[in-house]
Structure 1
């Protein structure tokens, strides 16, 4: 009986994992922010080359810049603040599963590789639904990066 009481009082039991809908709304806010930043940065390209797309291999210059801004936003905000602006608004924070500080490798796997998989493979967007059904509310990108999204107290 004492073991049951001790495990109930551990610090990890006070952690509340952020659910699907909280994370969804935070992500929508982040997308609005990234689209706004891209809009400001990419306006000059509409006046170059008479509005025609400039291609670099398979990419357009504006497509490459907007992708870089997208990944850098999530990577740098999560590294330096443990949350993006959307997560700040909704009171969410990204933590490592072992409660250590987030490392660059954790975030490269979570924010770059995990998000890249979700964006490149259309069907992979459905994998975000894992958040709704796992006990610690982890998406595939959280599992890859050994991270959790929690509600701040």
Structure 2
């Protein structure tokens, strides 16, 4: 006798616990940024200012306050520091000291495109207004505006949180075959 019935079972729900990285909040990110600014300031003071003095280029010009050659050079240094360190190491020196890192929202390493967008365009907008940094206080994944733009998150390196997720287990459908004993 041959039957072609399918054995149906109901899907079941199972709670699973998983460890996910803890998102870095406002204050730890601020401290990391301040450390980075000290490092950039030191690099500028040790290397850039002496070159400008030797070449007799004015460091500040009252008529070109925002766009003096020194300010443009300092901005390029800042952007290169944040872009290269974030792409290669996933973190700047300030983030290393504070134990946090940047990654894509899906957990993968950030791409060149996302890092350049995050550190260039996104950070430019955030620093012009400063308010977008405060989004870290309110968004669930503690993202600033530049993180939202680049689809990145900043997480603690060695701190994880337990998260419970409901997993649906689909039933397997088995087809009955001909019974050879009949």
User: Following TM superposition, by how much is the alpha carbon of 1:52 offset from its aligned partner in structure 2, in angstroms?
Assistant: 6.6
Q: Which has the higher contact order (CA 8 A, sep 6+)?
A: 2
> Structure 2 matches for 1:25-104, cutoff 5 A?
25-40=31-46, 41-49=48-56, 51=58, 53=60, 59-104=67-112
Comparing 101-110 with 140-149, greater Cα deviation is found at 101-110
Indicate yes or no: 2:134 matched with 1:126: no
Distance in 1, matches of 2:57 and 2:22, equals 52
Runs of 5+ consecutive residues of structure 1 not aligned to the other structure: none
Change in Cα spacing, 1:152 to 1:3, as seen in structure 2 (3 Å) is farther
User: Following TM superposition, by how much is the alpha carbon of 1:126 offset from its aligned partner in structure 2, in angstroms?
Assistant: 1.5
When Rg is computed on C-alpha atoms for both structures, the one with the higher figure is 2
- Provide the residue aligned with 1:149 in structure 2: 154
Change in Cα spacing, 1:102 to 1:51, as seen in structure 2 (3 Å) is closer
Comparing 126-135 with 44-53, greater Cα deviation is found at 44-53
Distance in 1, matches of 2:100 and 2:108, equals 17
Runs of 5+ consecutive residues of structure 2 not aligned to the other structure: 1-11, 159-182
- Please report the TM-score for the alignment, with normalisation by the length of structure 2: 0.72
Which structure carries more helix by proportion?
A: 1
**Pairing partner for 1:5 from 3, 15, 18:** 15
Change in Cα spacing, 1:115 to 1:52, as seen in structure 2 (3 Å) is closer
Distance in 2, matches of 1:48 and 1:25, equals 35
Which structure carries more strand by proportion?
A: 2
Distance in 2, matches of 1:96 and 1:118, equals 19
What's the Cα RMSD here?
A: 2.2
Distance in 2, matches of 1:50 and 1:103, equals 37
Note if contact 2:126-2:145 (Cα within 8 Å) is conserved in structure 1.
Answer: no
- Please report the TM-score for the alignment, with normalisation by the length of structure 1: 0.85
Distance in 1, matches of 2:92 and 2:131, equals 22
Distance in 2, matches of 1:74 and 1:51, equals 26
